[in-house]
Amino acid sequence: MIRRQVIRAGMAVAVMAAAGLCFGGPAAAQQKMVLKATDVHPLGYPTVEAVVQLGKKLEAATGGRLSVQMFPSMQLGGEKEMIEQAQVGALQFARVSVGPMGTIVDDLNVFNMPFVFRDIAHMNKVIDGEIGAELLAKLSNSPQSKLIGLCWMDAGARSVYNSKKPIKGIEDLKGLKIRMMGNPIFVDTMNALGGNGIAMGFDQLYSALQTGVVDGAENNPPSYESGKHFQVAKYYSLTEHLIIPEILVFSKATWEKLSKDDQALLQKLAREAQMDERKLWNEREKKSMELIKQSGIEVVTFTPAQKKQFQDAVKPVWDKYGAKYADLVKRIQAVQ
Ligand code: BDP
């Protein structure tokens, strides 16, 4: 009788381990684990592919003990839901924009300020260097985040698109309802530019554009193309008002159950993913732009003088939020 119970208990542990459910205990580091990852974008998108590649390397390095299962295309909800699930350990990797993360760890908001970077190359230098490392550590050490910051990814520059008319100068934004990511800085930025900023999840955006709940939105060329937004909002103006990196976060609840060696391995592979994604990003950005133009989208570019009008217009946003990040901004500007 006792022997039978022992066998049953043993079987239960084996079943749990096989399902990747058995994290605790001293032997935990050796258990097989399937780490869940998610992204709003579909397979083939640079951020998704970089995490898929990370998973393959992880599986190879651990002889199959650790692997990654990707849930792309908002299968587990929008970014808000993805972050919440990572915080409770219901999934492990969430690849999200720094946009929504800024509402959790305020220091990250420095990357969400309009025109904070000179250009995309400047942003990449910052995330690759000391400031990037510092902000990842801030996120990981923050008691309220419940997340580990693993690495950054490139997401180019965000520009406005809409279904009403070509925006050829700042005055054309007046009165247009433009969807922004859920963070007050972005709504204030759009309002300062003359539009009417509306916070909404990426998961609701396509139908909001289609039904006219919003007139437009803003994003980088790959998201505008991949999300099929260009089919329902045909005017794209290269305002490049926000250059926001992406971030790959990991559930702290799961992290604490990993051995130090596994944590170090994940950190090494995440850094590689940061570089792998950049290469994929550069290729995809070019392809997306070609596809957008071939589809007959009117892509408006601006002269430096016109660009300056957009930059000057967001001064109220800097007046409202800038002081908090003044030291970091100075250091960002000093990065050449
Ligand atoms: C895309 C980001 C994605 C965001 C989305 C958005 O890759 O993480 O969810 O923008 O606008 O560029 O919400």
Token pair recorded at residue 64: 């199959």
In this structure, which residue's CA is closest to atom 7 in ligand 1?
97
User: Do 101 and 219 share a domain, yes or no?
Assistant: no
Closest ligand 1 atom, residue 201 Cα: 13
**DSSP three-state, residue 170:** helix
For residues 120-146, average pLDDT: 98
The C-alpha atoms of residue 71 and residue 91 are separated, in whole angstroms, by 10
Q: Is the CB of 248 under 6 A from ligand 1?
A: no
Q: Considering only CA atoms, which residue is closest to atom 2 of ligand 1? A: 97
CATH code for position 106: 3.40.190.170
**Number of domains the chain contains:** 2
Q: Check whether residue 162 and residue 219 sit in a common domain.
A: yes
Res 12: pLDDT: 43
Is the domain of 118 the same as that of 198? no
The verdict on 135 and 161 lying in the same domain is no
CB count in 10 Å sphere of residue 128: 16
For a ligand 1 pocket test, name from 152, 178, 179, 181 the mutation site with the most ligand atoms within 8 angstroms of its C-beta.
181
- For residues 234 and 305, membership in a common domain is answered with yes
Q: Which residue among 41, 45, 97, 249 is best mutated to probe the pocket of ligand 1, counting the most ligand atoms within 8 A of its Cβ?
A: 97
What's the mean pLDDT when you consider all of the chain? 93
In this structure, the residue with its CA closest to atom 5 of ligand 1 is 202
Q: Is the pLDDT score of 1 beyond 50? A: no
Query: Is 69 inside a domain boundary?
Result: yes
pLDDT tens-digit map of 45-98: 999 999 999 999 999 999 999 999 999 999 999 999 999 999 999 999 999 999
Residues 162 and 142 in one domain: no
Q: What is the mean pLDDT of residues 215-223?
A: 98
CA of 32 to the centre of ligand 1 (A): 32
Task: Classify residue 249: in a domain, yes or no.
Answer: yes
- Calculate mean pLDDT across residues 156-172: 98
**Domain-located, residue 291:** no
Give distance in angstroms: CA of 222 to centre of ligand 1: 10
What mean pLDDT comes out for the span 274-292? 98
3-state SS, 4-62, equals HHHHHHHHHHHHHHHCCCCCCCHHHHHCCEEEEEECCCCCCCHHHHHHHHHHHHHHHHC
- 177/279 same-domain check: no
Confidence bin at 6 (pLDDT 50/70/90): very low
- Identify whether 293 is part of a domain: no
**Residue-range definition of the domain harbouring residue 188:** 157-243+298-334
180 lies in the same domain as 309: yes
Evaluate: CB of 202 within 6 angstroms of ligand 1: yes
> Which atom number of ligand 1 is nearest to the Cα of residue 47?
7
| Domain assignment of residue 54, yes or no | yes
Asked whether residue 7 carries a pLDDT value surpassing 80, the answer given is no
- Whether the CB of 223 sits within 6 Å of ligand 1: yes
